[in-house]
Structure 1
């Protein structure tokens, strides 16, 4: 997130709180009650945002993790594209050998 995005979100939350307070007062709610309800809405919104953040952390779906995964895939793709046909055949043979050894290990247990 860029700095300007953070500033815009902060201003948006501030304006939302002020507008909510004004709308509640215009609707006839007492000033103190309007303040309490406005604070409640802002706190519930904050808790909702935090819960989505924790959910993304728990699922490892954070921006950094996604960027790292995309980078690793791009590097592997580039390396595969740069390999000669002989190197690709050798890699395929190694993969097949590894699969056979894992199958032997798992059937032996």
Structure 2
């Protein structure tokens, strides 16, 4: 979210609260009751946003995490596309050997230092 977006959102919340308060006073509520109602609406909105945010954090649905996963997948895809046919066959052989539980040639399991 850009700085301009945050300022716009803050201004919208401020104006929305003022419009709600003014509407309640215009509808006939006394100023104390209108203030309590508009404050309660603001509090419930803040709590709803906070619990929604915590839910996204706990489920791992954060925007940065999704962007990072997408970037890493793109990097792997580009790396695989850049492989020569010989490198591709060697990689496939290594993966098949790992699936069968056989250490690949040159892997750390076979080295004796």
- With structure 1 as the length reference, what TM-score do the two structures score? 0.88
| Structure with the higher helix share, 1 or 2 | 1
Equivalence map 1:1-109=2 (5 Å): 1-101=1-101
After TM superposition, the runs of 4+ consecutive aligned structure 1 residues lying more than 2 A away are none
Counterpart-to-counterpart distance in 2, 1:92 and 1:52: 43
Q: Which runs of 5+ in 1 are unaligned?
A: 103-109
With CA pairs under 8 Å and 6+ residues apart, which has the higher RCO, 1 or 2? 1
Q: Which runs of 5+ in 2 are unaligned?
A: 103-113
How far 1:55 sits from its partner (Å)? Answer: 1.2
SS in structure 1 of the partner of residue 101 of structure 2: helix
How far 1:66 sits from its partner (Å)? Answer: 1.3
